[in-house]
Structure 1
């Protein structure tokens, strides 16, 4: 038993001997275990004393518990400390989460540009938009994702969080109102893709996070990669058996197909050129999201090999890149900041 554990045990025994409440203190200490050990070693006693002072003397018979607001504040503090507190490891994890947020927003912005331009092209040609309802809600979602991505890239993280949360909520509403087939196959990965970027944005861009303004040229790749796809999707091609190779190519030349290829290529470059562990882990997380997104498309359907075959190949490529990214990224993380001897609780 360490000196700190012995001191804590003696402290609790003294409280029991004096018939003073100890249940609330134990529950506060349990909540504080969300924080890293090094942080608890320096601040736990001070925080517990402050919480107990605010709670007053509550006998154990009443079953006292920490208030929800206190638990929320501890959870928020734990996120800030683990994603940007003292130590190189926390800084690396914080950068990883911020990159995941930006990559996820870039993908959603790519889908947004694809949807907006496609609807505009359909309206100009007086054609029905495939798979689109007359409701303006999809347009609202597309615009919100584009604005959130641009704001986050340009350093306006406060507005970006609000807009991204709204975009995620609208997208989840659209997913929930989708067809039954979509709900059974594609809804879970689509909901995951709509939820992770806003959550990563909220968690990664906190008060202690470094403010970074990305150049405008980095906002252009999602648009540049999407516009040719719109033209290809509206090209008048007779889709029969003679054009099956072109049909397979069109399944790859989609926003998620381009994003998958880009993620795989970036992962290979990261491995060969020795990118930072935060970049490797962020690409691995983005690859996992894309893998979940494409798995329903890779489901083997008899007679439709030309469609699910390329999707299965892309899933295999993602797996072969994700595994080394996770392994090397985890190994290259800086060592965790250790608690000072004799003070850990």
Structure 2
């Protein structure tokens, strides 16, 4: 007769994919029950540690653990590439943004330096701390990118989570009274663009996953190329640049380059790459639309509106092409 504790264990084990349960469920249940007295099993529950370990195992199994069926292996590959591409995009964007800000500051003399410092010291201690952390922590995207490609997974996870933290402040600030409540669509989409890659990195790059690798190029050259494209987009068209202009341009150029490369080197395309770029494209498109909306009714912002609308159209076309390519890859594989 099945005890309540056994039924509870089996309910938790249903988090695991079916292929894994077929092979290991009975063995796991026997291990968990062990030498427990049958008379006390109706008053017991799985411990928090056991439940947490099962959840972690379920994530690993569904994201391409060794021996997983092809659909799970493909999903795991797509999740790992999504995290890698998104971390690269944000690392290049943050480095260029900080470099351009410092360049502007120190080429405007004392007035420019005073404006820069006032941004950190012109308010109370809480806002000063938030301003400093918001400026510094996103630089950890670069640490996460290089740590991940050098197979330093724990530092990469910690760096990505730290880099994503400032994206939460605009959503939490209304609770502290530092910001007026309202429909912060841009802040919400920007937080998703930061946290979804960070969580995907933590979940998909687990200890059983293969090392992270770029489809083409060395980590340093690819990062440098991303920085050049991102910086050039702002330097060449400063009047059209808003908060999303540079990363959206970088993604558009990178996605177009990948599509051209994929058309010529189909045999070398890693599984799930098109699916990963499609997911990232949808995220970037959502942030682009959310950032563009407030400019639609601002007088004298025709360059920002025109650039944003042009980017939106380009992102829609590229994301559609990536989705079609992903569908074809899935059918072929």
Same fold (TM over 0.5): yes
| Structure 1: 5+ residue stretches without partners | 1-14, 236-246, 337-345
Assess, with a 3 A threshold, how the Cα gap between structure 1 residues 176 and 253 changes in structure 2: closer, same or farther. Answer: closer
**Equivalence for 2:225:** 221
Q: Is the 8 A contact 1:148 1:164 kept in 2?
A: yes
Structure 1 position 69, deviation (Å): 1.7
Higher relative contact order, chain-length normalized (CA < 8 Å, sep 6+): 1
1:311 equivalenced with 2:291 (yes/no): no
SS in 2 for 1:211: coil
**Equivalence for 2:126:** none
1:66 equivalenced with 2:63 (yes/no): no
Q: Is the 8 A contact 2:138 2:166 kept in 1?
A: no
1:163 equivalenced with 2:159 (yes/no): yes
- 1:173 alignment partner, one of 165, 169, 173: 169
1:259 equivalenced with 2:259 (yes/no): no
**Equivalence for 1:187:** 187
Cα distance in 1 for residues equivalent to 2:81 and 2:233: 25
Q: Is the 8 A contact 2:292 2:308 kept in 1?
A: yes
**Equivalence for 1:149:** 145
Cα distance in 1 for residues equivalent to 2:48 and 2:331: 34
After superposition, the C-alpha distances for 1:38-58 in whole angstroms (9 at most, x for unaligned) are: 111110111112222276536
1:108 equivalenced with 2:95 (yes/no): no
Assess, with a 3 A threshold, how the Cα gap between structure 1 residues 104 and 82 changes in structure 2: closer, same or farther. Answer: same
- 1:46 alignment partner, one of 15, 27, 35: 27
**Equivalence for 2:319:** 322
Assess, with a 3 A threshold, how the Cα gap between structure 1 residues 112 and 251 changes in structure 2: closer, same or farther. Answer: closer
Structure 1 position 200, deviation (Å): 1.1
Cα distance in 2 for residues equivalent to 1:187 and 1:252: 11
Structure 1 position 117, deviation (Å): 0.8
Give the TM-score, by structure 2 length: 0.77
Structure 1 position 294, deviation (Å): 0.9
Larger radius of gyration: 1
- 1:139 alignment partner, one of 135, 141, 151: 135
Q: Is the 8 A contact 2:92 2:223 kept in 1?
A: no
Assess, with a 3 A threshold, how the Cα gap between structure 1 residues 222 and 321 changes in structure 2: closer, same or farther. Answer: closer
Point out the structure with the larger helix share: 2
Higher mean alpha-carbon deviation, 326-335 vs 311-320, is at: 326-335
After superposition, the C-alpha distances for 1:288-316 in whole angstroms (9 at most, x for unaligned) are: 11012112133273345543344234334
| Structure 2: 5+ residue stretches without partners | 122-130
CA RMSD between the two structures: 3.3
Give the TM-score, by structure 1 length: 0.75
Cα distance in 1 for residues equivalent to 2:275 and 2:222: 20
Assess, with a 3 A threshold, how the Cα gap between structure 1 residues 326 and 25 changes in structure 2: closer, same or farther. Answer: farther
What does residue range 327-338 of structure 1 map to in structure 2 within 5 Å? 328-330=325-327, 332-333=329-330
Structure 1 position 37, deviation (Å): 1.3
